[in-house]
């Protein structure tokens, strides 16, 4: 599956979350939205590698506390070099996590991917993420093979 999720998620975020980063110029807004979508998608790939069954279940129940745990982990990482304030970043990450979980769940529900299909979909994202963000994004979400 060669579906490019990071660009799809960034486009969906711009459409579905018009208030997100509305205080910034169009260019900055698009940059922050893409950067945080890459950060989140990379983290989901890393979490899938750790425990695909847990993440699959979390995608299907979308627990705000679990999303907050992921967001806070990303915001407080010593590798995080985002220009955004921690508060701005955490709020945006929560919204992007919810959107990505919902979109992945919908893809799974309509496509009947199951854990195996989602594993293939997420693993295939590495090629789309390569070169798409600064190295701090990959060290923060622990997708270190994309550094460089």
pLDDT in tens, 29-66: 999 999 999 999 999 999 999 999 999 999 999 999 99
If one counts the domains in the chain, the total is 1
User: Domain span at residue 13?
Assistant: 5-146
The whole-number pLDDT of residue 3 equals 85
Residues with Cβ within 8 Å of 38's Cβ and at least 6 positions away in sequence, in order, are 6, 129, 132, 133, 137
The whole-number pLDDT of residue 136 equals 97
Q: Are 103 and 111 in contact (CB under 8 A)?
A: no
**How sure is the predictor about 2, in pLDDT bands with cuts at 50, 70 and 90?**
low
The whole-number pLDDT of residue 113 equals 94
């Amino acid at each position: 599956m060669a579906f490019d999720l990071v660009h799809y998620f960034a486009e969906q975020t711009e459409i579905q979350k018009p208030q997100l980063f509305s205080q910034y110029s169009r260019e900055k807004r698009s940059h922050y939205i893409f950067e945080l979508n890459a950060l989140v998608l990379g983290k989901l790939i890393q979490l899938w590698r750790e425990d695909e069954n847990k993440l699959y279940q979390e995608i299907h129940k979308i627990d705000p506390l679990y999303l907050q745990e992921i967001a806070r982990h990303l915001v407080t990482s010593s590798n995080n070099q985002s220009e955004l304030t921690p508060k701005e970043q955490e709020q945006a990450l929560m919204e992007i996590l919810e959107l990505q979980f919902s979109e992945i769940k919908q893809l799974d529900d309509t496509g009947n991917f199951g854990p195996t299909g989602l594993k293939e979909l997420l693993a295939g994202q590495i090629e789309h993420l390569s070169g798409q963000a600064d190295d701090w994004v990959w060290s923060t979400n622990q997708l270190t093979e994309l550094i460089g």
